[in-house]
């Protein structure tokens, strides 16, 4: 499963502006082959968010998009992250993100560590000034770190890229899209990666990540 991917998007199910199928259609038009819808969840809505999204798989395929049904565990106490990630996977989630310790929101300290230590977490989104020890933990557990285009959240992209390079952690580039104007074409995705300090070869590797193979790690 290669081609343009975005593993972090939102719809009207949480705080986005688009219906899930509108998001998929818009992304198909600009060339995406893999899209994860990852609306915000906590203990109140994890199971229904995952289960409701699965009915859209066939519609996405009609538009040439492989839909990954996912969640972004958001602003929960760090101690609850493993149980919620496990619940999401048992409910049918293909991919689990955790809303990391971005520099612009009051995310609970310890969130990054809990996500990096959890085998059911796939991506730590916008992890801010993540520590080297947590990046090493993420690398060991196969948790990818996100380079994001979202304003504010992207302030630490260079820091994240530097530590990921030094410690061998997988990187992904995502939009964290909430509205149509947030969607990235291929050129914009490359700009995010290069702007974070990746060289041309590192950028190629991140952009060509085989999502299916990586998720089966």
Q: Mean pLDDT score of the chain, rounded to an integer?
A: 97
Phi-psi region of 152 (alpha: psi -120 to 50; beta: other; left: phi over 0): left
pLDDT at 2 over 60: no
Please state, as a whole number, how many other Cβ atoms lie within 10 Å of the Cβ of residue 140: 13
The pLDDT of 184-205, averaged and rounded, is 96
d(CA 182, CA 151): 10
Q: Which domains does the chain have, with CATH numbers?
A: 4-215 (3.20.20.140)
Statement: residue 217 has pLDDT above 90: no
**Whether residue 1 has pLDDT greater than 70:** no
SS (H, E, C) 23-43: HHHHHHHCCEEEEEEEEEECC
- The model's pLDDT over 7-53, given as tens digits with 9 standing for 90+, comes to 999 999 999 999 999 999 999 999 999 999 999 999 999 999 999 99
- What count of other Cβ atoms lies within 10 Å of the Cβ of residue 79? 10
C-alpha 206/C-alpha 190 separation (Å) is 9
pLDDT at 52: 96
């Amino acid at each position: 499963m290669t081609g343009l991917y975005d593993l972090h998007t939102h719809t009207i199910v949480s705080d986005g502006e688009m219906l899930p199928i509108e998001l998929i259609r818009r992304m198909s038009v600009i060339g995406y082959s893999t899209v994860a819808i990852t609306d915000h969840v906590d203990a109140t809505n994890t199971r229904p968010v995952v289960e409701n999204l699965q009915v859209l798989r066939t519609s996405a395929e009609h538009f040439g998009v492989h839909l990954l049904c996912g969640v972004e565990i958001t602003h929960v106490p760090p101690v609850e992250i493993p149980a919620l990630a496990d619940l999401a996977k048992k409910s049918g989630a293909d991919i689990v993100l955790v809303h990391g310790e971005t520099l612009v929101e009051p995310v609970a300290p310890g969130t990054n560590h809990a996500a990096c230590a959890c085998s059911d977490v796939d991506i730590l989104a916008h992890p801010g000034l993540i520590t080297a020890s947590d990046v090493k933990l993420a690398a060991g557990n196969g948790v990818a770190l996100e380079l994001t285009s979202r304003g504010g959240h992207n302030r630490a992209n260079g820091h994240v890229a530097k530590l990921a390079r030094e410690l061998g952690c997988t990187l992904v580039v995502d939009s964290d899209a909430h509205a149509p104007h947030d969607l990235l074409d291929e050129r914009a995705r490359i700009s995010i990666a290069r702007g974070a300090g990746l060289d041309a070869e590192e950028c190629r590797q991140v952009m060509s990540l085989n999502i299916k193979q990586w998720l089966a790690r």
